[in-house]
Amino acid sequence: MTAPAPPRTGAAQRAAAVAVALLLAVVTALWSGQPSRAAAGAKATVQPLGAPFLPSPDPLRVTIASMVAVSMTVEKNVTIRLSDGTTRVTNQYTFTKLKIRSHMNVTQRAAGHTVTIDVPDEGSLGGYDSAGRPETTTMWGTISNVCVRVLVKICGVQGLLDFFGSLIPLTSGAEDFVGEVYGIRTVDDRAALDSTDNPVHLPGTITVTTP
């Protein structure tokens, strides 16, 4: 006779649940990132207007409690030039819209000053202009933590998002985002001169403190 299998421990059950949820997160990301048939075709090249954008050498620490990134793509190991003439190798995240669902905090410490932008509730970067055409938001930096929720909340999946975002556009919700960001730029280079659309909507406070 064969002895009955021992019951699964709680740790094993939790590990199995996390593995299943992680697999579902990958499938969800792949499915949501598939372009629609109407959008199929050559990818448009965005030519931002204005003077060259040179980010500060002192990165921003960005935290977002809950967010949704729409049509996000990732280009890894991009070399950027900073305002002090130095360069950094980092990642470039490009998306149509970053929807802040709850609490965004941006902090920068430089030259003895601390600048803090706090958005306690909802906000957004990018979106669509009055003609329904997508704006472009680009972020340069690295993500040190991000969580997704599929059945259970799974954290530390930034490597997974970077990998799939380098292959296909992703539209995904996320929680507990933490990143070191050198710069964020939102542009609409097709807007009419009389357009009143504002691609940046971050209702909150800005404070500057010194030691």
Q: Which residues contact 108 (CB under 8 A, 6 or more apart)?
A: 56, 58, 59, 60, 61, 114, 115
Query: How high is the mean pLDDT of the chain?
Result: 76
Does pLDDT of 48 surpass 80? no
In a domain, 183, yes or no: yes
Domain assignment of residue 105, given as a range:
58-189+198-209
Q: What is the dihedral of CA 150, 201, 164, 172, to 10 degrees?
A: 20
Residue 117 pLDDT: 92
DSSP β-bridge partners for residue 192:
none
In a domain, 53, yes or no: no
Query: Worst-scoring range by mean pLDDT, 18-32, 116-130, 145-159, 186-200?
Result: 18-32
In a domain, 13, yes or no: no
In the structure, what pLDDT confidence band is assigned to residue 53 with cuts at 50, 70 and 90? low
Q: What is the dihedral of CA 187, 192, 195, 197, to 10 degrees?
A: -30
User: Where is pLDDT greater, at 126 or 175?
Assistant: 175
Structural domain count, the chain? 1
Q: Which residue is associated with the tokens 């954290």?
A: 155
Q: Work out the percent of the chain whose per-residue pLDDT is above 90.
A: 37
Check residue 82 and report its DSSP letter. -
Residues 85-113, mean pLDDT to the nearest whole number: 90
In a domain, 116, yes or no: yes
DSSP β-bridge partners for residue 208:
115
In the structure, what pLDDT confidence band is assigned to residue 130 with cuts at 50, 70 and 90? confident
Residue 21 pLDDT: 44
In a domain, 151, yes or no: yes
Residue 189 pLDDT: 60
In a domain, 203, yes or no: yes
Query: pTM of the predicted model, to two decimals?
Result: 0.72
Does pLDDT of 180 surpass 60? yes
Asked if 117 and 160 touch (Cβ cutoff 8 Å), the reply is no
In a domain, 22, yes or no: no
Residue 190 pLDDT: 59
In a domain, 31, yes or no: no
Asked if 182 and 141 touch (Cβ cutoff 8 Å), the reply is yes
